């Protein structure tokens, strides 16, 4: 995923779609737990404060940016290894942040299949509810592994 140019051109789209779909969803499910939510702690919380101003500002940027995705896609908290910093980004469809040389730390699926049965067309309500199940200890472990 991190270097699709090494994949034969006639297979790139399929690798991006299916490989991204697998990897994105694996991380999505691992990033949630019952009675999750709250706020991150430790070094991740410190870095969020540095790059977004505060957790509340990060949550606002992440939520608004993810809600505004046209069609299907993902909102991401990523680590940019080149500049050693946290960033927010979105991707369309199943595209992984790896394809843009970003390490995904936390991803939110906003394809309608992720929320339609419970939230119908209320994407904002789904995003708000999702914050209550984020597994911050898992996200922080990912961050520590890549930022050390």
Give the chain's domains with CATH numbers: 4-147 (3.55.40.20)
- Place 8 in a pLDDT band, splitting at 50, 70 and 90: confident
Copy the structure tokens of residue 113.
Answer: 């299949």
DSSP single-letter state for residue 19:
I
What is the dihedral angle through the alpha carbons of 119, 18, 91, 102, rounded to the nearest 10 degrees? Answer: 130
For 28-55, the pLDDT digits (tens) are 999 999 999 999 999 999 999 999 999 9
- Place 15 in a pLDDT band, splitting at 50, 70 and 90: confident
pLDDT for 2 equals: 65
CA atoms within 13 A on the CB side of 22: 6
- C-beta separation of 38 from 135 below 8 A: no
For 68-112, the pLDDT digits (tens) are 999 899 999 999 999 999 999 999 999 999 989 999 999 999 988
């Amino acid at each position: 995923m991190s270097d699709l140019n090494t994949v034969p051109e006639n297979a790139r789209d399929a690798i991006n779609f299916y490989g991204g779909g697998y990897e994105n969803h694996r991380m999505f499910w691992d990033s949630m737990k019952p009675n999750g939510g709250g706020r991150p702690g430790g070094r991740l919380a410190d870095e969020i404060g540095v790059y977004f101003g505060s957790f509340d500002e990060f949550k606002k940027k992440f939520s608004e940016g993810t809600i505004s995705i046209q069609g299907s896609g993902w909102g991401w908290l990523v680590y940019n290894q080149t500049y050693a910093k946290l960033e927010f980004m979105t991707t369309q469809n199943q595209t992984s942040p790896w394809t843009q040389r970003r390490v995904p730390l936390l991803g939110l699926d906003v394809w309608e299949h992720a929320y339609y049965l419970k939230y119908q067309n209320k994407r904002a309500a789904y995003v708000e509810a999702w914050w209550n199940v984020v597994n911050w200890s898992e996200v922080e472990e990912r961050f520590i592994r890549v930022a050390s």
